[in-house]
Amino acid sequence: MHYSGGCHCGRIAFEFDTEAPVAEVIECNCSLCAKRAHLLAFVPRDQFVLKTPEKDFATYTFNTHRIRHHFCPSCGIGPFGEAKAPNGIAMASINMRCVEGFEPGQVKIKPFDGRSR
């Protein structure tokens, strides 16, 4: 399945492919995700294609500084992040609310307790 998305103003654009449609997203309750209302899907970083230059986004880290939360310095939207999975594979965490055609009611939303980590 092919997906495309980006920030509100279009300064950040991306695409990614999955074998099957995204059927489940993570709703993290950490201090950042809760305030931004992120619904996250994860893909290996090599399946995620950034269509705009990296210089067009800003990055924020906090707590353990393992996850690089990227956001648009113009419109403020945080469409994706990057980190390594516990097995060492580089991953992209995609805010599915920034993906064209995404409807939260069409997927299972799985809570994740990031606040306690």
| Helix ranges (DSSP H) in 10-117 | 31-36
Instruction: Say what the pLDDT of residue 3 is.
Output: 98
Nearest CA among 67, 32, 36, 74 for reference residue 52: 74
Q: List the CATH code of the domain at 2-112.
A: 2.170.150.70
d(CA 4, CA 93): 14
Does the pTM exceed 0.75? Answer: yes
87's tokens: 């097995």
From the first residue on, what is the mean pLDDT of each consecutive set of 10 residues in the chain (117 residues)?
97 96 95 93 96 94 92 97 95 97 95 89
Report the SS3 class of residue 114: coil
